Amino acid sequence: MNEKVVAMLLAGGQGSRLKSLTYDIAKPAIPYGGKYRIIDFPLSNCTNSGINTVGVLTQYQPHALHRYIGLGTPWDLDRHQGGVTMLPPYAEIDGIKWYAGTASAIYQNINFLTSCEPDYVVILSGDHIYKMDYEKLVEYHKEKQADVTVSVLEVPWEEASRFGIVNTDEDMNIVEFDEKPEKPKSNLASMGVYVFDWEKLERYLEEDNNIEESTHDFGKDILPKMLKDQQKMVAYPFKGYWKDVGTVDSLWEANMDLLDPSAGLVLHDPAWRIYSSNPQLPPQVITKTGRVQGSMVNEGCVISGTVKHSVIFQNVLVEKEAVVEDSVVMSGTKIGRGAHLSRVIVPPDVTVPENYRLLEPAAGITLLTQDLIDSWKESGQQ
């Protein structure tokens, strides 16, 4: 690509339905897949797509993210030219510019974008799990001579009403946006991944900022306005695994997808590595009493119990006679002897006591917080 592409990664989301997992960290910083954080996926996609100027927009609980991304070294984004720039809200003479919506987050950083002198701007979300070549997306955008390209994904028809649906003509020109339609006319869902011609983006952001009733959101305001103005808008059909993890259940599902080859997300892929900050830990050990089946286990773990169909993060101890099945166990957790866990997500650094059992097995997935464990201790069932 001779023309300059800049990626703007929206990473300010709270993700309140993920409960205590996001009390202290933003949603893109949530641990996933045994060693990653969700934001590793869009960041690695940028690196693998040859995009080396990336702005990361943070707002909610930004510290963990800022510290995690640092200079961008794990993603090869510590560059003299470009590289990664963290963009939290900041104060100006007129006051503090909080990010009211996705579009306002980009608008508040229009000076940053101007200084990058981009030809195209790719807008990304920091909380989606997928592998995508953005270079192909930008090539498609150029071929179609579009003003904006929206990446879309075919979703099952019965689920289409949960998504922002994009209706197109046979040439993939967008004719209508249909936000969570009751009766969807198409099953192409917007992934929240857009490519804009920089000049068009700049103009529409300026205009949108002056509209008082606007919610300053790409999906709700900017894109519909551009469609009304008959700008050239096309849909890019993405094929592959894509997941927006909004809830404890969907975070669990996304982890379980890694254990199911038919789900389509392969991490063992030297051609498209997902980069991450690597803690320096010794290899994992499966001891004489340990048994691991259908699972993924990261470095630093010592497994002396039974692990079945689970994703185990770094530095987890599973003691003798403990059983972990259909679960996600985050880093630094210790699972005591004889404990039995099934269909849970264990947050980082939790100590599960010996012989622990869930009091009332829930229908969905249980987030095994320290509070739950404390109430089990108080119930005297140990």
Tell me the closest approach of the beta carbon of residue 37 to another protein, in angstroms: 14
Binding pattern to another protein, positions 242-281, x when CB under 8 A? -------------------------xx----xxxx-x-xx
Q: Which is nearer to another protein, 87 or 292 (CB)?
A: 292
Per CB under 8 A, which region of 32-40, 111-119, 177-185, 370-378 contacts another protein?
32-40
Which of 50, 294, 361, 364 touches another protein by CB under 8 A?
A: 294
Q: Which is nearer to another protein, 189 or 297 (CB)?
A: 297
Binding pattern to another protein, positions 55-94, x when CB under 8 A? ------------------xx--------------------
Size of interface with another protein, in residues (CB under 8 A): 34
Q: Which is nearer to another protein, 16 or 278 (CB)?
A: 278
Can you tell me whether residue 343 is helix, strand or coil?
Answer: coil
Token pair listed for 205: 């952001």
| Cβ atoms 308, 323 nearer than 8 A | yes
Distance CA 17, CA 247 (A): 5
Write the CA distances from 208 to 79, 223, 255, 330, integer angstroms. Answer: 33, 11, 38, 42
Is residue 15 at the binding interface for another protein, with CB under 8 A as the rule? no
Per CB under 8 A, which region of 6-14, 189-197, 297-305, 367-375 contacts another protein?
297-305
Q: Which is nearer to another protein, 248 or 292 (CB)?
A: 292
Distance CA 252, CA 269 (A): 22
Is residue 295 at the binding interface for another protein, with CB under 8 A as the rule? yes
Q: Which is nearer to another protein, 131 or 216 (CB)?
A: 131
| Cβ atoms 18, 64 nearer than 8 A | no
Token pair listed for 330: 């985050």
Q: In the chain, what is the straight-line distance between the N-terminal and C-terminal CA atoms, in Å?
A: 62
Which of 282, 357, 361, 374 touches another protein by CB under 8 A?
A: 282
Distance CA 204, CA 199 (A): 9
Q: Which residue, chain included where needed, has tokens 């807008």?
A: 123
Distance CA 68, CA 30 (A): 11
Tell me the closest approach of the beta carbon of residue 34 to another protein, in angstroms: 4
Is residue 49 at the binding interface for another protein, with CB under 8 A as the rule? no
Tell me the closest approach of the beta carbon of residue 259 to another protein, in angstroms: 8
Distance CA 177, CA 272 (A): 32
Token pair listed for 27: 């949603």
Is residue 283 at the binding interface for another protein, with CB under 8 A as the rule? yes
Q: Which residue, chain included where needed, has tokens 């079945």?
A: 308
Tell me the closest approach of the beta carbon of residue 31 to another protein, in angstroms: 12
- Of 128, 113, 116, the residue nearest 79 (C-alpha): 116
Per CB under 8 A, which region of 211-219, 294-302, 354-362, 371-379 contacts another protein?
294-302
Give per-residue burial for 34-63: e unless 16+ CB within 10 Å, then b: bbbbbbbbbbbbbbbbebbbbbbbbbbbbe
- Of 296, 328, 336, 334, the residue nearest 315 (C-alpha): 334
Q: Which is nearer to another protein, 223 or 345 (CB)?
A: 345
Tell me the closest approach of the beta carbon of residue 218 to another protein, in angstroms: 32
Tell me the closest approach of the beta carbon of residue 327 to another protein, in angstroms: 14
Q: Which residues bind another protein (CB under 8 A)?
A: 33-35, 73-74, 267-268, 273-276, 278, 280-299, 311-312
